[in-house]
């Protein structure tokens, strides 16, 4: 792992770049400013807020204690400029693949993403403005390239989505990858998607993908990786499809360079509480409903099993046999299994529900508790764990590693500090360097990081492949 520190002169950056940098760092009133004024504003902001910036050659910048801009990238793996390939970055998001390949000495000739906010972040960090719509790109006009990267949209295949597979128009974007591949014939392709793509629709989707890529003339190797297997405290299984053009393939399995290891200390990925903005601290109904449930946790005996999901509203609803039979099967099962724990603690449940009923009834999900941390322990508390407010209820997860980052509004709560994890902590979990410029709007930043590849895992795939084929 290497660290490089080189001064970068912002005065050599374009006006458009400087304006975009101001936008990403939430500096207002810069739209019509001339270059000199922009430089003055950015210099002042550097000294006040430790602004981050990037140059047009993919170098990521940061400011040192004196306000001077420096590069401070930590590299996973081989030395700089070890490879010399060109690549296209499809469905590029905020540029996870770009960051890896540029660190490995490769050059991007084209990027593309439909999301305007992702394109802004990509442009700020890499000096390249991605194309907006892959369906409108003339394939013949794309410069020739050696590598195609694509974390093609996972929503059609994800558990968090409706899993419509190729019935979803986004699923058909894979066919556009194939059209580009058929014409441009890259040496390598690195494709990434959710793990469920291997099994959905009776494995028809992955069979279609594999057969299509083989017909195009590529040998495939499929790897399943998760950050938590490599020391990073986030469980995030993802499928990586390595494609090597048949005429280049050496007939050997690509060995991964980085071995699995134990989870790194969780606190290495957490920002100091003294630096956490108060906007991330729990408050209002969310804090109140968690406090309410924590009261009930204190009631349970040590060793008590409180799963499956507790549906506390159902303790106080009555159904006729016909009404009960018309409930969804899963709900019938939960109500039946919950009866034991209600009967055992009925006096406490009744008093607790009477006390908190108004709050619990504000949202249906407030009355649902998914306790996924095993039996109740001595001095247990909901605030000892990670928490997510999901459509299925209040989910409590083990503190060993963070819940999987997602692109929807289910930001993890760090129970020990009664706060949401920050976008920068999400970036840490996705292995981005601290110098990577995130979107200034938290909503966009969370979504972008939830959609992104994990850089360490993807680097393991890419560097391992290029190392084996370095003489190609």
d(CA 332, CA 450) in angstroms, rounded, equals 33
Question: What is the 3-state secondary structure of 371-417?
Answer: EECCCCCCCCCHHHCEEEEECCEEEEECCCCECCCCCCCCCCEEHHH
Q: How far apart are CA 391 and CA 445, in angstroms?
A: 21
> For residue 115, which phi and psi values (nearest 5 degrees)?
-85, 120
Report the alpha-carbon distance of residue 305 to residue 65 in Å, rounded.
Answer: 52
Residue 341, class by beta-carbon neighbours within 10 Å (0-12 exposed, 13-18 middle, 19+ buried)?
A: middle
- Catalytic residue from among 22, 92, 149, 154: 154
Backbone angles phi, psi at 442, to 5 degrees: -60, -40
Q: Going edge to edge, which strands form the sheet with 107-112?
A: 107-112, 86-90, 147-150, 188-194, 238-245, 218-225
Annotation marks residue 106 as catalytic: no
Query: What Rg, from alpha-carbon coordinates, does the chain have?
Result: 25
Q: How does strand 69-71 pair with strand 61-63?
A: antiparallel
Half-sphere exposure of 354 (CA within 13 A, CB side): 6
- Residue matched to tokens 């000495």: 105
Distance CA 158, CA 147 (A): 26
* Cβ atoms within 10 Å, residue 259: 8
Structure tokens at 258: 């980085």
Catalytic positions, written as ranges = 154
């Amino acid at each position: 792992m290497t660290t490089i520190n080189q001064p970068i002169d912002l005065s050599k950056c374009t006006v458009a770049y400087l304006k975009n940098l101001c936008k990403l760092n939430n500096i207002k009133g810069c739209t019509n400013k001339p270059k000199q004024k922009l430089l003055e504003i950015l210099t002042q902001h550097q000294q006040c807020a430790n602004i981050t910036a990037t140059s047009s050659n993919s170098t990521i910048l940061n400011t040192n204690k004196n306000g001077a801009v420096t590069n401070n990238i930590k590299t996973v793996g081989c030395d700089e400029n070890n490879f010399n390939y060109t690549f296209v970055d499809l469905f590029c998001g905020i540029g996870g693949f770009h960051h890896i390949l540029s660190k490995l000495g490769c050059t991007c000739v084209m990027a593309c993403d439909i999301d305007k906010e992702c394109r802004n972040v990509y442009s700020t960090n890499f000096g390249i403005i991605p194309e907006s719509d892959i369906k409108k790109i003339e394939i013949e006009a794309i410069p020739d390239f050696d590598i195609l990267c694509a974390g093609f949209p996972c929503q059609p295949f994800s558990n968090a989505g409706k899993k419509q597979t190729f019935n979803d128009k986004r699923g058909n974007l894979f066919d556009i990858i194939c059209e580009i591949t058929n014409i441009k014939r890259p040496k390598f392709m690195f494709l990434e998607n959710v793990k469920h793509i291997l099994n959905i629709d009776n494995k028809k989707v992955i069979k279609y993908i594999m057969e299509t890529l083989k017909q195009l003339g590529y040998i495939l190797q499929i790897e399943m990786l998760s950050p938590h297997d490599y020391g990073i405290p986030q469980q995030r299984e993802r499928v990586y499809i390595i494609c090597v053009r048949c005429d280049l393939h050496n007939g050997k399995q690509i060995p991964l360079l980085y071995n699995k290891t134990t989870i790194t200390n969780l606190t290495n990925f957490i920002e100091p509480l003294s630096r956490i903005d108060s906007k991330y601290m729990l408050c209002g109904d969310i804090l109140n409903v968690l406090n309410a449930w924590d009261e009930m946790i204190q009631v349970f005996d040590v060793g008590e099993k409180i799963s499956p999901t507790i549906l506390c509203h159902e303790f106080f609803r009555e159904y006729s046999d016909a009404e009960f039979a018309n409930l969804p099967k899963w709900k019938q099962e939960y109500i039946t299994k919950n009866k034991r724990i209600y009967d055992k603690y009925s006096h406490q449940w009744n008093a607790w529900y009477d006390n908190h009923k108004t709050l619990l009834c504000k949202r249906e999900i407030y009355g649902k508790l998914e306790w996924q941390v095993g039996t109740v322990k001595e001095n247990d508390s909901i605030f000892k764990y990670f928490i997510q407010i999901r459509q299925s209820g209040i989910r409590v997860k083990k503190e060993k590693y963070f819940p999987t980052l997602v692109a929807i509004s289910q930001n993890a709560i760090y129970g020990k500090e009664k706060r949401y994890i920050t976008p920068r902590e999400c970036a840490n979990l996705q292995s981005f360097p601290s110098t990577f410029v995130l979107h200034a709007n938290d909503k966009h930043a969370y979504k972008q990081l939830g959609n992104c590849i994990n850089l360490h895992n993807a680097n393991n795939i890419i560097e391992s492949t290029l190392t084996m084929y370095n003489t190609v």
